[in-house]
Each structure stands twice: as structure tokens, then as C-alpha cells.
Amino acid sequence: MSTGAAPRGRRPGAPDTRAAILAAARTSFADKGFAGTTIRGVAGEAGVDAALVHHYFGTKDDLFLAAMELPVDPRQVIGPVVDGGVDGAGERLLRAFLALWDDPEVSPVLVGFVRSVLQPGGERLLTEGFLPVVLLPVGEALGLDHPEVRMPLLMSQVAGLIVTRYLVRLEPIASLPADAVVATYAPVLQHYLTADLPDLLR
Amino acid sequence: MSTGAAPRGRRPGAPDTRAAILAAARTSFADKGFAGTTIRGVAGEAGVDAALVHHYFGTKDDLFLAAMELPVDPRQVIGPVVDGGVDGAGERLLRAFLALWDDPEVSPVLVGFVRSVLQPGGERLLTEGFLPVVLLPVGEALGLDHPEVRMPLLMSQVAGLIVTRYLVRLEPIASLPADAVVATYAPVLQHYLTADLPDLLR
């Protein structure tokens, strides 16, 4: 999407129109959650036409990801993970995760995002945002049975890895080379993706 | 330890002496970590004799646990887990954990503790406190090889369970009955306790 195209709406050309839309989107996602946010509502708050929001940011999913200010679009990172099929998907997911989280330029941004998710009220960024926009589609694309159970289980080990390796910096986890992290955790992630689910979960 | 015994020290009988010691201890554990904190230093900050700190609170481990204001002494909860030996220890640990965390009176206190651990700088409560005082002794008492690796790995899945079930309240994990949590996670915890470690971790 080119920002050089002439934008439509009440405030065409205003240099901070994009910023105003993003600010309104952030407020709405935080206050109303992902499901309660509409492009029309965000446009209204920002004082622009809904068409301009679509023009700048695309779908509501795109707007959500832009509002999170992640340094990457996680859906692009996830593509190769899905393309390889379910065999080895745990390891490929983990390597894609580590490529971002172990990058010293990207990691602080991600830590900041996680800290805001962990604030009281911030959980909707995960439960109503990241989970349905990024994580569940991965499980569905992999053809998992019960992706709505398996992806949260996988998320629970990834969350623990984030907390111990990047937030709390618990040793030896914090200092493990990426290959050791993969050797340790990929089997557990794969277990959540493909092992028989306990009857109590189905 | 009876609080009816006549306390010794410069401020005997002062009703808030215990509170002053706890406040000084909390500041010291937060600023200097567990290893950098001494009973003598805490006593000095609180304006009392070191003997009085020992009299009220026992060892530095005891003082640390009192300063955390946990509603229970985790070492008492852990006893039966250890006594059963390493077979099934993952499940017993998890059931002891759930008995506390699923208790509606205890859970908010524990959530508050975890939120303070996750604050920048708060990680020493875990890395220099809870880990060496509570968790590593469990691994040693169970006779694990490499408890200094296995207990942090176990902690990483427990941390993810805490984040998803109690902080972020990610479904379906947040609403699973305790038996379903055990069926799901006990095998993973047992894996971290007893499965072969990757060569890269030894």
C-alpha cells in the first residue's frame, strides 16, 4: 500500500492523519477489545472517513497489527512455518520466534508489548487480538484438530519461555544458545500441536 | 516461633518493630537481591539488633519468605511433593500449585506477587529468592540430576500456566477444571524433571 496515493477523507494530506488513526485504534482496542472495535468507530474518533482508514491500513486485522507497533508483521514470519505442514511445525514456530526475540533490536519492542499485555486490562491485546489474528489462523492452516485448544496450550509454554528468557532472565534459560532452546522446547511445542489431547479437553 | 516471648533489642515491645524489620527486609531484597541482603544489614536499617531479627523471623530464608507476604510458607506445601519421590512428582507439584492458585482467597495475593516479579527489577525476587529458597531445594531433595537446569525448565512451563490461566485468563486454559490442568501439564512437568536432557544443556 503506497502512502504516496492521494488520501481521501476530511483531513487529506494532514501529516499526522495516520498517527491520529493509530491513536484512535489503540484506544479502541484497549477499551473495547478487538471484537468491539470497528473501522467506522476508529474513523469517527480520528475524525476521518472510514474509507481513509481502509486506504491506509487495510482490514481490521491489519489495523490491529499496525496499532500494536510490532517491528514485523507476524503473519509474514508465520508463512514458512505453515507451509512446511504439521511435521516439525513446533520447531519451525520456535525458530521463527527466536529469530525475532533474540534479535537485540527487536527484542525490547516485543518485551514492551508483553509488559503491556500483562498490565491489568492489557490481556485483550492477546485474547482478542494476537490469538485470533495470528495464532489461531496458524493452527487452522496447519490443519490441527482442536486448534482452539492446542494453540493456547502452545502459547502457554511460549509465554513461559518469554517470561523466563526475556523478562525475568532466569538462568540457564536466559543464556541458552538458540539451538539449545530448540532442543529443549520444540518437542514440548510439537506435543501440544499433535499429541492426543486428554479427554477432559475435548 | 512464639511472638509472646519477650523480644530482645533496642526497641523491645514496640508494636511495629516487626513491621519495621519487614519493611527494611523488603527494601533490601529489592535493592540488593537475596544474596546481597544480610540479617545484620536489615537490622541496621530497621534500627534493631540482629538478634531480634533472628528471634522474630529465624533464618534469612525465613525472613525472605515473610517479606514476600505469601499467604503460605511454600516449603510446607512442598514437603509432601518431595516425600513421594521422583515418580509422579510433576503431578504432585502441580496439584500443590493448583490448591493454592485456584483458592479464591490466595490467588489474588499470588497474582500480586507475580506482577511485582515481572516489574523491571523485580526479577530478583524469583532468581535470587524463590528459586534458591524454594525451588532448587525441591529438585535436590528429589535427587534430580542437574536440578539447576531442570527446575528452571519446569518453572518456565509453570510461569506460562500462571500467565495464561491467572493473569491473562486465556481460554480454554483459564476455565479448565483442575483435573484437566493436571492431565494436560503434569506429563510436561514430569518430562522436565526426568527426561533425558539435550546434550546442549548438560
Provide the terminal-to-terminal Cα distance of chain A, rounded to the nearest Å. 42
Spatial contact of A167 and B116, defined as CB atoms under 8 Å apart:
no
Phi and psi dihedrals of A85, rounded to 5? 80, 180
Instruction: Tell whether ipTM is more than 0.90.
Output: no
Residue of A127, A168, A200 best to disrupt the B interface, most CBs of B under 10 A: A168
Task: Say whether both A45 and A99 belong to one domain.
Answer: no
CATH number at residue B156: 1.10.357.10
> What is the number of domains present in chain B?
2
Instruction: Using an 8 Å CB-CB cutoff, list chain B residues near A171.
Output: 127, 152
Residues A40 and A106 in one domain: no
Closest CA to B26 of B75, B66, B71: B66
Regarding whether B195 and B142 lie in a shared domain, the answer is: yes
Q: B27, B35, B105: which is closest to B70 by C-alpha?
A: B105
What is the reported pTM? 0.81
What's the CATH number where B50 sits?
Answer: 1.10.10.60
B118 and B153 co-located in one domain: yes
Cβ of residue A191 closer than 8 Å to a chain B Cβ = yes
How do the pLDDT tens digits run along chain A, 202 residues long? 444 444 444 444 556 888 899 999 988 877 777 778 899 999 999 999 999 999 999 988 888 888 877 767 777 778 888 888 999 999 999 999 999 899 998 888 888 888 878 887 778 878 888 888 888 989 999 999 999 999 999 999 999 999 999 999 999 999 999 999 999 999 999 999 999 999 888 7
B161 touches chain A (CB under 8 A): yes
Confidence class for position B74, pLDDT limits 50, 70, 90: confident
| Structural domain boundaries, residue B97 | 74-201
Residues B81 and B59 in one domain: no
State the Cα–Cα distance between residues A54 and A59, nearest whole angstrom.
Answer: 6
Residue B2 resides in a domain: no
* CA B89 to each of CA A173, B144, B151: distance values in angstroms, whole numbers, following the listed order: 22, 11, 12
